Amino acid sequence: MPKKKQPYDKFKPGDRVVKASNFTVIGRSIPKTGSRPPKFTHGEVVEVIMKKNKRGALQPHCKVIWDGQTRIDTTAANRLWKEEEKDKMINNQMQAIGA
């Protein structure tokens, strides 16, 4: 019997979120010292929606209004972090690239 799908509750409307710029290192050496920190985009969740992917599975997406912008942007929820977890996100990214 298939497992029952749990409701998505990581983000709720009104939550403050952060999205980091891509932190990839392709074709160049990893800067260990003096590297510039990633750029962060701060915003507020307006709505959480479930979108179907190509295989038909539902994936959570958030409609976010970024600070300093007027339009609403739809972003995959796995790319977002809560604002209070920003330091944890930086540490995870640094470990992922081996810096």
Q: What are the structural domain ranges in the chain?
A: 16-22+37-97
Structure tokens at 24: 């990839």
* Owner of token pair 């915003």: 43
For 24-77, how does the pLDDT look when each residue is reduced to its tens digit (9 = 90+)? 555 555 555 555 666 788 999 999 999 998 998 889 999 999 999 999 999 999
CATH of domain 16-22+37-97: 2.30.30.140
| pLDDT recorded at residue 8 | 78
Instruction: Please report the pLDDT score of residue 85 as a whole number.
Output: 83
Structure tokens of 1? 């019997």
